[in-house]
Structure 1
Amino acid sequence: MLLAFLRDLTRLKGVILELAKRDYQQANQGSYLGFIWNYLQPLLYIGVLYAVFTLGFRQGATQDGLPFGLYLLSGMVCWLYFAGNLSSISSVIRAYSFLVKKVDFRLSILPFVKLLSSLLPHALLLALLILAAALNDLQLGLHTLQLLYYYFCMACLLIGVGWITSSASLFIPDIRNFVGLVTQFGLWLTPIFWSTNQVPQPYQWLVSINPVSYLVTGYRDSLSGNHYFWERPQESLIFWGTTLVLLAAGTAVYRRLKPHFAEVV
Structure 2
Amino acid sequence: MSSIKMFFAFLKELLGSSHIILELTKADFKKKYLGSYLGILWAFVHPAVYIVVVWFVFEVGFRSQPLANFPFVLWMLTAIMPWFFFSDCLQSATTSIIENGFLLKKMVFSMGMLPIIKILSALIIHAFFVLVIFIMFMLYGFPPSLYNLQVFYYLFCTIALLLGLTWLTSSLTLFLKDTPQIVTMILQLAFWMTPIFWSTKNLSNHTLNLIKLNPIYYIVEGYRESFIYKTWFWQSHYMLTLYFWCVTGFFFVIGGLIFRRLRPHFADVI
TM-score, length of structure 2 as denominator length: 0.91
Q: For structure 2, which runs of at least 5 residues remain unmatched after alignment? A: 1-5
Task: Using the TM superposition, name which of 114-123 and 54-63 deviates more.
Answer: 54-63
Q: For structure 1, which runs of at least 5 residues remain unmatched after alignment? A: none
Q: Pick from 144, 147, 172: which aligns with 1:140?
A: 144
Per the alignment, residue 130 of structure 1 pairs with 134
Per the alignment, residue 248 of structure 1 pairs with 253
Residues 106-255 of structure 1 mapped to structure 2, 5 A cutoff: 106-231=110-235, 232-255=237-260
Per the alignment, residue 105 of structure 1 pairs with 109
- Amino acid of the residue matched to residue 124 of structure 1? F
Per the alignment, residue 39 of structure 1 pairs with 44
Q: Per the alignment, do residues 127 and 183 of structure 1 end up closer, same or farther by CA in structure 2, a change over 3 Å counting?
A: same
Tell me by how many angstroms 1:225 deviates: 4.8
Task: Using the TM superposition, name which of 163-172 and 1-10 deviates more.
Answer: 1-10
- Amino acid of the residue matched to residue 51 of structure 2? I
Q: Pick from 58, 67, 86: which aligns with 2:63?
A: 58
Q: Give SS of 1:198's match.
A: coil
Q: Per the alignment, do residues 9 and 167 of structure 1 end up closer, same or farther by CA in structure 2, a change over 3 Å counting?
A: closer
Tell me by how many angstroms 1:28 deviates: 2.7
Task: Using the TM superposition, name which of 71-80 and 182-191 deviates more.
Answer: 182-191
Alpha carbons 1:160, 1:246 under 8 Å: kept: yes
String of CA shifts for 1:138-164, please: whole Å, max 9, x gaps.
342221111111111000111110011
Alpha carbons 1:93, 1:110 under 8 Å: kept: yes
Count of aligned residue pairs for this structure pair: 264
Q: Per the alignment, do residues 182 and 30 of structure 1 end up closer, same or farther by CA in structure 2, a change over 3 Å counting?
A: farther
Alpha carbons 1:46, 1:76 under 8 Å: kept: no
Task: Using the TM superposition, name which of 167-176 and 92-101 deviates more.
Answer: 92-101
Per the alignment, residue 96 of structure 1 pairs with 100
Q: Per the alignment, do residues 191 and 243 of structure 1 end up closer, same or farther by CA in structure 2, a change over 3 Å counting?
A: same
Separation (CA, whole Å) in 2 of partners of 1:6 and 1:153? 18
Q: Give SS of 1:62's match.
A: coil
- Amino acid of the residue matched to residue 158 of structure 1? L
Tell me by how many angstroms 1:172 deviates: 0.5
Separation (CA, whole Å) in 2 of partners of 1:176 and 1:230? 36
Q: Per the alignment, do residues 255 and 11 of structure 1 end up closer, same or farther by CA in structure 2, a change over 3 Å counting?
A: closer
Q: Give SS of 1:191's match.
A: coil
Task: Using the TM superposition, name which of 145-154 and 29-38 deviates more.
Answer: 29-38
- Amino acid of the residue matched to residue 157 of structure 1? L
TM-score, length of structure 1 as denominator length: 0.93
